[in-house]
Structure 1
């Protein structure tokens, strides 16, 4: 196995870097959990191209304090870093954020604060990415008394973060859960999120016992509950790990499903599950006791920190809340205990008709549930989500996301493997995810000639909708505006030209002229093209190439 990555070796940047990427870890986490995400980015982009900041002011037990406080801490950390870089002679003009697990929600809150403080006005928002983040909370889709016992009581074990993740909190004076407010289309949080040119999420389809697929994928369906019934369709170049986001599955014929599992395969599958059953029966009960005891202590400490924060007396040192070494060693076992508890309930679906559970909601929410029932089909049943969650899905989907389902097969702990949280050979599938993120999905502009103005507000979807034609221009072109920038690396010497058809614009000829020479950039790792020149056609006769 290769030498473990040291966080300090792959983060930071030089004074030349104009693009800041902030990495935000999850619940119980620390900056080192994001070190391999940072390494994947650094392998693609030099310190002159990208400044990498791992957020560190909301780590460990401080993550109990809630999404709100975490977001405020991360926002303050970003502001401090922007100021610090400028004091050292640098200037950040572009911003990207990547959040893992709870860090995705903390990042969305921080983005709203940055938007409200008008800090984003001076920054070009490039990439917003989440890995296995519970956008809809961690509430297990359950009905009846199971919902009361598991989702309501379970929420009490994680202080404010727990109540917010299980959506039983009331955020300030809104009388709504914080996650619902985060997804409100009129909120500062959604306004800030929409400023990013690319919003991407990676979602585990199996074995994520912390953040199940429906919530990290922002969906009301889960076609991966029984993989024996579907054929998985993988993304070209990432076979075996990342599914094709446009066509991820195909249903298997019923006969094939029935005969798929032979007696031998069934026995083999049962034998493989023995270690897991031993863990559940022997080790987990011990872990659960430790987990609940630790949760009680941390809930009290968190409440005190929140109280101090609200009163303006939050001058607390992280060292005061560092756990003793012995407790640190069993933290992983504690986390696994929580995950097993969280996965002990199977997801349920909406009832075919009105049920007693509906009485807990008002008339408007009951109307929404009826609508979702009508849309539910046997082939694609709708999960038993809450009205708030259905509304979150609709609002978040309107913002536009590039969703990549991930199939981690080499390790049962897919939640940690997706970002290679630990240096294990069995986490190899996670490296495939990180290389896709850094090499194919991450947008970063080049140090281009000042005569070119960078395209603002042109999203990937907008380009696709305009049905562009791609043509490669010649380095010997007599038109200076079409010559590749000689200062760029050789790998970027060949750039593609996007000519937008005249039918794509309803503006006048003068306005079309004003659209020329606008630049849209792709990651440098994409072969033979990193700069895309967008030109509006002139006249009715179409393209003049």
Structure 2
């Protein structure tokens, strides 16, 4: 029975499987281009893993021969598309768990055995992936006792939720996002409550070393974090990189210089005192082609702008409110289905009954049941983590580095989450895309046909795909 390396890709909020089609293609190309062999080779291409440093061009490099032997099966999650992503990180993860079970069953029916698994989550999909690995680990026996976890990657994921900045727009977006995106909006803005017995937000509970999600993530041989250094207007740097401050805010005005190769930052340096500063400029490189009209149409659009903007805002508000209501109704149906069935027991509690996923109460009950049996082990493993450091009073500055007027305002609980998540062996890869309006879609080449500028992120996908292949070979070398 041939072994299979299952690679799961999970898209983000409002996402569709085709948003990760370029990531899938790059992974399959990297896997195919590697030359399988039965013995380690010293002349294979090494796997670079750049780490950002201050004022240094040095790059940390780990070298592994890239020669994967397992068959690769890439699965892009399809059960949480578009508006279904409103239903919450936990419910979306239960739907993906059902898909994973179906794919594994189909492979086994084809006389193929899933021996290893790797996961990539983009944006909200990274949070879904983190909840998913907790669900899989909570089975009895654990899913990862039978399937080796290899590589876990998040790209532009709001690990700390959406951080607030001291700007009016940030506060408005935060207020609206927590109310117009159903449970997912509440969770990423940290205004939800996990349960009656644990009123903390879900993301804080997932970061807690006492709980199964943190423990499950620690089982992966490699955990990669990709974060945009600048220009990510959806998931700012501190949340994507799991860092307590944003050293890159107002990077143009402050004269920040970054050394990068193929969009992967390797070093940054502070400006020289007295050096001239550049003025920030606005450009329209990411506008869709339908809005790039020539004169006189461009002037007509500008003239009608004051009329159309309020109408568009009302339409968006109505549409989001309607989608949120539909999400609430879906969750109510799941709750009724759970209440009308016999409560599962043992490992069956973690297995998802259908493609609609599991109810909120069902997921909480299943996790609680498993964690009760693991409580002492989890508590012992978390003793060294403590409750986290006190948050810094101000963002550290240098006399050479002018203090920013805009700052990330992380809450105490977000600082605790940073401390807890950094107990994991994270490998950060910081992405430098200075010439785009919003790097959030560019970093995964989400829609290159409609937006050619998205191709600027292709080198990031190639970097990730190469590392994923090398991670697979590293596990094979350990086995042999």
String of CA shifts for 1:73-127, please: whole Å, max 9, x gaps.
1112112211221111000111100000000000000000001011111111111
Aligned to 1:136: 160
| Residue 162 (str. 1) matches residue 185 (str. 2) | yes
Name which of 219, 239, 252 aligns with 2:271: 252
What is the CA-CA distance between 1:403 and the residue it aligns to?
A: 1.0
Q: Any idea what SS the aligned residue of 1:98 has?
A: strand
| Residue 373 (str. 1) matches residue 393 (str. 2) | yes
Q: Any idea what SS the aligned residue of 1:92 has?
A: strand
What is the CA-CA distance between 1:131 and the residue it aligns to?
A: 0.9
Name which of 222, 226, 236 aligns with 1:212: 236
**In the aligned structure 1, how far is the partner of 2:394 from the partner of 2:388?**
10
Tell me if the contact between 2:22 and 2:444 (Cα under 8 Å) persists in the aligned partners. Answer: yes
**In the aligned structure 1, how far is the partner of 2:6 from the partner of 2:255?**
41
Aligned to 1:172: 195
Tell me if the contact between 2:192 and 2:202 (Cα under 8 Å) persists in the aligned partners. Answer: yes
Tell me if the contact between 2:116 and 2:149 (Cα under 8 Å) persists in the aligned partners. Answer: yes
| Residue 63 (str. 1) matches residue 85 (str. 2) | yes
Tell me if the contact between 2:193 and 2:202 (Cα under 8 Å) persists in the aligned partners. Answer: yes
Aligned to 1:434: 461
**In the aligned structure 2, how far is the partner of 1:274 from the partner of 1:18?**
39
String of CA shifts for 1:357-406, please: whole Å, max 9, x gaps.
xxxxxxxxxx9896521774565887321111001100111112111111
Structure 2 unmatched ranges of 5 or more: 33-68, 292-300, 339-351, 357-386
**In the aligned structure 1, how far is the partner of 2:423 from the partner of 2:325?**
39
Structure 1 unmatched ranges of 5 or more: 1-14, 319-366, 447-453, 456-517, 522-532, 534-545
Superposition TM-score, scaled by structure 2 size: 0.71
String of CA shifts for 1:250-273, please: whole Å, max 9, x gaps.
1011211xx243xxx77xx36879
Superposition TM-score, scaled by structure 1 size: 0.63
**In the aligned structure 1, how far is the partner of 2:283 from the partner of 2:232?**
21
What is the CA-CA distance between 1:146 and the residue it aligns to?
A: 8.6
Aligned length: 377
**In the aligned structure 2, how far is the partner of 1:199 from the partner of 1:376?**
27
| Correspondence list, 1:355-370, <5 A | none
- Cα distance change, pair 286–422 in 1 and its aligned pair in 2 (3 A): farther
Tell me if the contact between 2:12 and 2:123 (Cα under 8 Å) persists in the aligned partners. Answer: yes
Tell me if the contact between 2:17 and 2:78 (Cα under 8 Å) persists in the aligned partners. Answer: yes
What is the CA-CA distance between 1:408 and the residue it aligns to?
A: 1.9
| Residue 125 (str. 1) matches residue 149 (str. 2) | yes
**In the aligned structure 2, how far is the partner of 1:120 from the partner of 1:60?**
30
Pick 1 or 2: higher relative contact order, CA cutoff 8 A, min separation 6.
Answer: 2
Aligned to 1:511: none
Q: Any idea what SS the aligned residue of 2:392 has?
A: helix
Q: Any idea what SS the aligned residue of 1:185 has?
A: coil
Aligned to 2:452: 425
| Correspondence list, 1:320-469, <5 A | 371-373=391-393, 376-377=396-397, 383-423=408-448, 424-445=451-472
Supply the RMSD in Å over aligned alpha carbons.
3.3
**In the aligned structure 2, how far is the partner of 1:302 from the partner of 1:425?**
33
Aligned to 2:138: 116
Larger radius of gyration: 1
**In the aligned structure 2, how far is the partner of 1:27 from the partner of 1:60?**
7
**In the aligned structure 2, how far is the partner of 1:209 from the partner of 1:41?**
27
String of CA shifts for 1:51-76, please: whole Å, max 9, x gaps.
10001111111100001101111112
